[in-house]
Amino acid sequence: MQAVLIRELRKSLRRGIRDYSTNAKPSLVLGAYEPQEKDGQLILSLAACQFNEGIDGKLEQILEVAGKKLKAGSSRVLYGLGGGYNAVAVANLGKQDAGFCALDQVEEGRENVRSAVASACRQLRDAGETMVEVDPCYDAEAAAEGGVLSLFSYDELKAEKKRRFPVTLTCHTQNDSYKNSAQSEAMEKAWKRGTILAEAQNLARRLMEAPSNKMTPSIFVEEVTQRLQGKCTIISRDKAWAESENMGAFLAVAQGSPEPLRFLEIDYSGGPSSLPPVALVGKGITFDTGGISIKPSGDMDKMRADMGGAACVAGAIMAAAKLRLPVNVKGFIALCENMPSGTAIKPGDVVTARSGKTIQVDNTDAEGRLILADTLSYAETCKPSLIMDMATLTGAVDVALGAGAAGAYTNCNVAWDLLHHSGASTGDRLWRMPLFKLYSNHVTDSQLADLNNIGKYARAAGSCTAAAFLKEFVTNKHWVHLDIAGVMMNRDEVPYLGKGMSGRPTRTIVEFLHRYGKHYHQMINNFK
């Protein structure tokens, strides 16, 4: 009885803290740039200057001391400054003139804003602040992305006392230069766009982070349907449908698990009906043991996120719908588990894909390319202007690129240019990899079938041979394959993402769709 009373008392206290937090004054994030001279002062942003004036210069006085060792991308929380705020976090935005960095292939200024705002928002959350206004830092979209992405936490399965308090972020517009002006409206629009982009990536992170018993193929369909209902048309297919489509490769992977497979189609119509759609294809292995070619037990739990491609497709389409992008998008997601059992496919088995090509399966852990083969073939039926597939496909791409960039393979230079610039803008980069005929020769050299699901030199160019395998199932002249295995997780590589599943490169895909829709008519001749 005493233990029960103690638990109830703790719950009451926690509710009280939440209620108090709700009624408390907000906190504020302000930006400042590195000094131009070695021992100079931090250069306050427009919003920071106005705040400083409103408190009689106290902010500047404190930063003369407190700002000396404040590094780019970091922040410092200050209390007692007044101005209507409980706490003020000053974020170092780096160099004032930071732009595109040719070496890093990224818009450095935008990345600095994301990282600095993220640091400040995390510090305020950890200090118990639940309402935070964020200085737009001259790039409201990037500021919103940094803040919203930094506060993501998958803790819904933990006891309530172990969950993080939710934090409400808003754009700080209390600046005379912004009030009642077109600039204010543009800033709010940019903030909203950044929030939508970050929320889309957070959706992908949530889907990837969920344990596999809480994110089966059927549950994935339910989650995505709930998020996209009313914005998109959603169709869920079953095993009987896959059999009617002769998806022998997909069915072969799924046959080892009692969990029923699902094939999800998502249709977003944001452009005229005459505009051919972009097809987004996602690998949806909700858990990958490797099958009979079983993986080592260490870190196998991370394979709950082997449906990262499917998660990114869902997040990207959600953002496209919320932003009302002027494009038509069709999503195709094959969902199943890859498990070892008495019914599982065995090394050396031969299956027939939807296209009619036969595949010798020498490694059941190379299953992603099998389900994608049938999904790509089916995606061609909607006559898309471009097909983009994404998959946590190979460990080889992690060896090649690590978390620096996702590997991109394409037969279309125009699509690559768009993707490349999109990644530079979002900070979530892609790097073009080769589709040499050499790699195609590696997968078409098969003893028993038309293709082998691993290259004849198993350890050589694994990501490249996987892409070459997929190429055998694509006839569209505008195809992009993204191998996202290396960016599946974040340790500490991206400062505005916490540890765990990353949801990359969702924002880059949305930016690509935005640019594609905006410039499609100018690009169509190049595409032809």
* Of the candidates 470, 495, 468, 337, the residue with the CA atom closest to the CA atom of residue 403: 495
> E strand or H helix at 16, and its extent?
helix 2-23
Residues facing residue 267 across a β-bridge? 233, 330
Buried b / exposed e across 465-487, counting CB within 10 Å, b at 16+?
bbbbbbbbbbebebbbbbbbbbb
Say if residue 41 is exposed, middle or buried (CB neighbours under 10 Å; 0-12, 13-18, 19+). Answer: middle
Per the residue annotation, which of 295, 302, 456, 471 is the catalytic one?
A: 295
SS (H, E, C) 450-466: CEECCCCCCCCCHHHHH
Instruction: For residue 499, indicate whether it is catalytic.
Output: no
How many residues appear in the chain? 528
Q: What is the DSSP string of 116-149?
A: HHHHHHHHHHHTT--EEEE--TT-HHHHHHHHHH
Question: Is residue 369 among the annotated active site residues?
Answer: yes
Q: Are 431 and 398 in contact (CB under 8 A)?
A: no
Q: How far is it, in rounded angstroms, from Cα 323 to Cα 346?
A: 45
* Radius of gyration, CA atoms only, the chain: 25
C-alpha torsion 201→205→208→209, nearest 10:
-170
Residue 452 phi/psi, 5-degree rounding, is -115, 140
Which one is catalytic: 76, 125, 322, 369?
369
Residue 194 to residues 145, 171, 328, 511, Cα–Cα distance (Å): 5, 11, 21, 11
349-352 β-sheet, strand order: 349-352, 358-361, 451-452
Dmax over CA atoms of the chain, in Å, equals 81
- The residues annotated with a catalytic role in the active site are 295, 369
